[in-house]
Amino acid sequence: MTYVTSYSKRRVWLCVRAPGHLTACATHLVNSNPRVALAQCRYLLRTAIPAMRRRHALAATVVGGDFNLTEHGQASVHACVPSGYRRWSDGSAQHVLATGGFGAGPEDVIDMRGATDHPSLTAAPMPPGSTGQVRVWLVTSSTDIAGPRRKAAS
């Protein structure tokens, strides 16, 4: 799914299957409208991922990204995450979600010292039936490095 913001940024998600193991998804949902971010999150977690899991007979899925949904309030991450998901968070907009029997693993929030508009989040969900961990490291920023697109001079 793609959502174009006023700055022509494309907000998408991408999922990659590791057949026989898990599906890993990454996203950066819209930051300009909490209701749209909530709708994107709900669609991703309640429609797109379940359809993919059914189609490919997948049990384990990990999703990580900047959801631009807070811990509390009307547009909170709790309003979009279905039961059965385990969640790691930076306490703000970034979350790692895992389903399909993933166990708890460590998480850490890393100060990016001003390099982005929020800290980095690392999480290590424990895959079902495994003694190892899947390391998820998120470094996301809503800062547009190139700046907003400008019209060419006429």
Domain ranges of the chain: 3-101
Among the four given CATH numbers 3.40.50.620, 3.60.10.10, 3.30.450.70, 1.10.1740.10, the one describing domain 3-101: 3.60.10.10
Token pair for 124 = 């290590």
State which residues of the chain have pLDDT below 70: 1-10, 100, 131-154
The answer to pTM > 0.75 is yes
Residues found in the chain: 154
Dist. CA 29–CA 74, nearest whole Å: 16
Bridging pattern class, strands 61-66 and 94-99: antiparallel
User: Phi, psi (5° rounding) for residue 79?
Assistant: -75, -10
Which residues, including other chains, have CB under 8 Å from residue 19's CB and lie 6 or more apart? 56
Bridging pattern class, strands 61-66 and 22-28: parallel
Which residue in the block uniquely carries the two structure tokens 């703000």?
92
Query: Long-range contacts made by residues 50-56, C-beta under 8 angstroms, separation at least 24?
Result: 52/15, 52/23, 53/23, 53/100, 56/17, 56/19, 56/23
